[in-house]
């Protein structure tokens, strides 16, 4: 029976290989993006994720966002109203 350290080491190696492959796939899929246009860039391919986010409670909360450069104030910025 293999020791737990060998099993853990083997699992770590498999996870690392899978992670690297996944990162390479993601990079290849995004290679065609020439310019980042804010959320519009992501929304072109990730419509479901965008819809899930903008309908989430976190995003619908409203509060001033003075720390966001060039942000229109008094607009929903996805912040909590109070703590």
Dump pLDDT digits (tens) for 21-62.
667 787 888 888 899 888 889 899 999 998 998 888 777 766
d(CA 42, CA 53): 12
| Same domain? 47 vs 63 | yes
| Same domain? 25 vs 52 | no
| Same domain? 20 vs 58 | no
| Same domain? 79 vs 45 | yes
Asked whether residue 83 carries a pLDDT value surpassing 50, the answer given is no
Name every residue whose Cβ is closer than 8 Å to that of residue 64 and which is 6 or more positions away in sequence: 73, 74, 77, 79
| Same domain? 21 vs 47 | no
State both tokens at 62. 């409203």
pTM score > 0.85 for this model? no
Looking at per-residue pLDDT, the higher value among 10 and 31 belongs to 31
| Same domain? 44 vs 80 | yes
How many domains are there within the chain?
2
Query: Which 8-state DSSP code applies to residue 53?
Result: H
| Same domain? 46 vs 20 | no
Expressed as residue numbers, the domain containing 9 is: 1-32
- CB–CB of 61/47 below 8 Å? no
């Amino acid at each position: 029976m293999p020791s737990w350290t060998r099993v853990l080491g083997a699992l770590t190696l498999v996870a690392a290989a899978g992670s690297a492959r996944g990162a390479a796939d993601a990079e290849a899929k995004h290679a065609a993006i020439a310019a980042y246009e804010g959320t519009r860039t992501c929304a072109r391919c990730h419509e479901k994720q965008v819809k899930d986010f903008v309908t989430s409670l976190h995003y619908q909360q409203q509060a001033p966002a003075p720390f966001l450069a060039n942000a229109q104030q008094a607009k929903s910025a996805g912040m909590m109203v109070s703590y």
